[in-house]
Amino acid sequence: MNTWLDIPRNSDFSVHNLPYGIFSTSSRRPRVGVAIGDQIIDLAALAIRRYFQNLSIEPEVLEQSSLNAFIRLGKPTWQAVRKRLTSWLTQTDSPLYHLRKECFVAQSEAKMHLPLEIGDYTDFYASEAHATNVGTMFRGKENALMPNWKHMPIAYHGRASSIVVSGTNIHRPKGQIILKSADQPVFSPTQALDFELEMAAVIGKENKLGTSVRPEKAEDYIFGFVLFNDWSARDIQRWEYVPLGPFLGKNFASSISPWVVPLEALQPFRVDGPEQQPKPLPYLQTSDRQNFDINLEVAIQPEGENDVVVSQTNFKNMYWNIGQMLAHHTVNGCNMRIGDLLASGTISGEESDSYGSLLELSWNGERPLKINSNQPRTYLEDGDTVTLRGYAEQEGIRVGFGEVRTKILPSL
Ligand code: MN
């Protein structure tokens, strides 16, 4: 597919991608756009000129500060818009070509916003390497995986209100922690601030309360994916998590990438997941190729220094796939709503340079990392910038997620 736009070969935002986001410029308020190369197609500007009228998309739907109203129009509409943009981008006798002055905005001129109104967010724990690493550190090798782990995708309900978009700096959170060789807690800024490399699916269709979604139908319920950094304060988490699970060690912030990559753009990158043994219960059984081959990496940039990649892994390694996560989440009749996020859980590979958290990379503090000229470190320091990146690539076709970049500021 050739486009008349000049797009660098290594751009995340090729004509095969067309991710949706919410952007604003100094002169115009937030609206829906689609990324292409280093540009944004202003969908609202096209709608005002009636180019989406025969698809029954009112301009107001695209002049919103979230994608929810557009997503609510349904899969046939997303597909029609995608088809239309693809054809306009590949033909010079198209409205987009003739309106390229009016309907394109340089990404460098735009501010990106949180793209979704997120009602609920759930965090899974679907990587076997991650669950095994964490289990080994806390319970020993023999009891690494809990007996339930291979029977269901384990998850907890996260906090949606503190999800922020890439570029939003976060302050080191405070809470109760137990200092070394103490048995009573103190109130303190966390001394174990960590990232978690994850992907999150954006719900694009609702199921009614009391109904459930079969794993093979999951495709119809997912609009797309974003990169997801599930910030964690390990010391707060370790002290508080028994018996009800993660709370203040997790809910101070999570960060997402601004562009939602449509599920449709990821279809060429489907691959088989790992073999599941024991065989899951029937409601969790899926067919082949339910995983996605997406390269992922994490970089840390200490204040005033260079960005250093500390981990590289792949989304295809997940034990439980997104269809199984959605099927499990809804099997009791729990209803999903448009804009909800289902995060995968930390994505770790088998090798020690493919772990998706500092908890694992530093092996619970036993193996400090050396990053540039800084002293060896186990967890994040104030002034560090953490960046997650991800892309799928095959036969010259590249579909990328851009990045989610966050700077750690001192406690307030
Ligand atoms: Mn997580």
240 and 360 in a single domain? The answer is yes
* pLDDT number for residue 9: 87
166 and 189 together in one domain = yes
CA 303 / ligand 1 centre spacing (Å): 25
Same domain, 127 and 56: no
Strands 31-36 and 39-42: what pairing? antiparallel
- Cα(342) to ligand 1 centroid in Å equals 11
Give the pLDDT score at 377.
Answer: 86
**CA 125 to ligand 1 centroid distance, Å:** 7
Question: Which CB contacts under 8 angstroms, 24+ apart, belong to 34-38?
Answer: 34/85, 35/107, 35/259, 35/402, 36/3, 36/5, 36/7, 36/89, 37/5, 37/6, 37/7, 37/8, 37/11, 37/13, 38/8, 38/11, 38/13, 38/106, 38/107, 38/108
Residue 8 lies inside a defined structural domain of this protein: no
Based on the domain organization, do 25 and 166 belong to the same domain? no
**Ion ligand 1 — residues with CB under 5 Å?**
123, 196, 230
| pLDDT recorded at residue 183 | 92
Total count of domains within the chain:
2
Specify the pLDDT at position 394.
Answer: 94
**Phi and psi dihedrals of 239, rounded to 5?**
-80, -35
Residue finishing a domain among 113, 142, 176: 113
Is the same domain home to 181 and 323?
Answer: yes
Pairing between strand 111-113 and 121-124?
unpaired
**Residue 106 parent element (H or E):** strand 104-106
Asked if residue 249 is part of any domain, the answer here is yes
Cα of 360 from ligand 1 centre, angstroms: 13
- Name the active-site residue from 16, 98, 130, 329: 130
Instruction: Decide which of 113, 138, 168 is a domain's last residue.
Output: 113
Question: Which residues form the domain of 219?
Answer: 121-409
Residue 219 lies in a domain: yes
Residue 373 confidence (pLDDT): 77
Question: Would residue 26 count as lying in a domain?
Answer: yes
Last residue of a domain, one of 113, 139, 157: 113
Does residue 58 share a domain with residue 157?
Answer: no
Specify if 266 maps to a domain: yes
So what's the pLDDT on residue 372?
A: 83
Distance CA 226, CA 315 (A): 12
CATH of the domain at 269: 3.90.850.10
Does one domain contain both 62 and 147? no
- 301, 395 Cβ separation under 8 angstroms: no
Chunk the chain into consecutive blocks of 10 residues (it has 412) and report each block's average pLDDT, rounded to whole numbers.
Answer: 90 98 96 98 96 95 98 98 97 94 96 98 97 92 94 98 98 96 96 98 98 96 98 96 95 98 98 96 93 98 94 97 98 98 97 96 93 86 97 95 98 96
Q: Tell whether 403 and 364 lie within a shared domain.
A: yes
Whether residues 130 and 108 share a domain: the answer is no
Residue entry with tokens 């092996």: 363
* 345 alpha carbon – ligand 1 mean position (Å): 4
In a domain, 6, yes or no: no
336 and 286 inside one domain: yes
**Are 361 and 310 spatial neighbours (Cβ–Cβ below 8 Å)?**
yes
**How remote is the CA of residue 375 from the centroid of ligand 1, in Å?**
27
Same domain, 105 and 125: no
Asked if 410 contacts 313 with a C-beta cutoff of 8 angstroms, the reply is no
One-letter amino acid at 46 equals L
Is-catalytic flag, 130? yes
Tokens (6 digits) for 183: 């048995």
Phi/psi at 195 (nearest 5 deg)? Answer: -105, 165
Answer yes or no: is 3 within a domain: no
What CATH number should be reported for the domain holding residue 97? Answer: 2.30.30.230
347 Cα–ligand 1 center, Å: 9
Q: What is the pLDDT of residue 396?
A: 87
Q: Is 144 contained in some domain?
A: yes
Q: What is the pTM of this model?
A: 0.97
Distance 183 CA to ligand 1 centre (A): 27
Q: Which long-range contacts (CB under 8 A, 24 or more apart) does 131-134 make?
A: 131/345, 133/348, 133/355, 133/359, 133/360, 134/359, 134/360
Q: Indicate if 160 and 226 belong to the same structural domain.
A: yes
